[in-house]
């Protein structure tokens, strides 16, 4: 896993949601991991209108920064990329759970997609 410098953290935080999404996919594939938030009730699920979604990040530091403000009872937890692709996404596809990729605050939300779309994006990224 690569650690981010504070300068890198700030620069990546300034990216537009679409650019953050592309960065996140690349980083998750390269590092073979991603990050979610875990609390005493399990993995954090957000309600987005009538849909549930799981927020994910490419680095622990982004999950930690987001959790601190909005969900202080949760802590960042690593998800292995293979488990994400082979277990999480198929299960989320079955139950209609969406994925919120790389949110960084109230003003700059992430990209929200269906699990099947996220799976297709990862497959495309891994082919490159």
How many folded domains does the chain comprise? 1
In a domain, 119, yes or no: yes
Query: How large is the average pLDDT for residues 48-58?
Result: 90
Query: How large is the average pLDDT for residues 28-47?
Result: 94
pLDDT, residue 109, reads 80
In a domain, 1, yes or no: no
Q: Which CATH number goes with the domain that contains 10?
A: 3.40.1350.90
Instruction: Output phi, psi for 96, to 5 deg.
Output: 75, 20
Residue partners of 47: CB distance under 8 A and separation at least 6: 53
Residue range 73-128, pLDDT digits in tens: 899 999 999 999 999 999 999 999 999 999 987 655 889 999 999 999 999 999 98
Q: Which helix (H) or strand (E) holds 54?
A: strand 51-56
Tokens encoding 14: 């300034």
């Amino acid at each position: 896993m690569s650690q981010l410098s504070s300068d890198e953290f700030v620069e990546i935080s300034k990216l537009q949601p679409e650019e953050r999404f592309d960065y996140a996919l690349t980083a998750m594939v390269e590092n073979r991991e991603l990050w979610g938030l875990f609390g005493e009730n399990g993995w954090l699920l957000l309600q987005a209108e009538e849909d549930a979604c799981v927020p994910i990040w490419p680095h622990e530091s982004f999950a930690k920064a987001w959790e601190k403000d909005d969900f202080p009872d949760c802590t960042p937890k690593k998800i292995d990329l293979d488990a994400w692709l082979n277990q999480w996404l198929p299960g989320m596809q079955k139950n209609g759970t969406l994925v919120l990729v790389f949110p960084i605050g109230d003003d700059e939300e992430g990209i929200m997609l269906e699990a099947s779309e996220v799976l297709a994006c990862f497959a495309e990224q891994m082919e490159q």
